[in-house]
Amino acid sequence: MQPIFKHHSVHQQELFPLNLNALISENHSARLIDSVVERLEIPDIISQYKGGGSSSYHPKMLLKVLFYGYLNNTYSCRKIAKAVKENIYFMWLSGGLQPDFRTINDFRGQKLKGNVEKLFSQLVEMMVDLELISLEKQFIDGTKIEANALKA
């Protein structure tokens, strides 16, 4: 008997574009980040955009890809910019847009500067409202460990 293989071709064009939304499960963390960031109020960040010239990437889209990168231990702007081109979750969060690493880095270093605390407070309040976390019990780890570096 001859084996039968499913046809595939990376060179075959699709008649309809791929629907990334259908590929992301309803309970995936990318969907949580999308819904949380859409609820954030960011007038301080938006007010930093001057207007005129060419259009800018929306700050909420940049927040989504940054937060999703951080959630997945990706902190490098170059790696996040690469993921926006190669990873379906980043592609979905960015709406198919592909900001380069300089744009992501400038947003993080300039537009978010001074706004991180406000965003974090909003995120914590939202997660409490969604019952994802509780503020009833808080623990602080005060462990102090002495290093053995350079001891003779």
If pLDDT is split at 50, 70 and 90, which confidence band does 121 have?
confident
Is a pLDDT exceeding 80 seen at residue 102? yes
- Residue 16's pLDDT is 65
- Residue 139's pLDDT is 75
- Give CB contacts under 8 A, 24+ apart, made by 27-36: 28/89, 29/68, 29/71, 30/68, 30/89, 30/92, 30/93, 33/64, 33/67, 33/68, 33/71, 33/93, 34/64, 34/92, 34/93, 36/67, 36/123, 36/126, 36/127
pLDDT in tens, 106-120: 999 999 988 988 888
- What would the mean pLDDT of 44-55 be, rounded to a whole number? 87
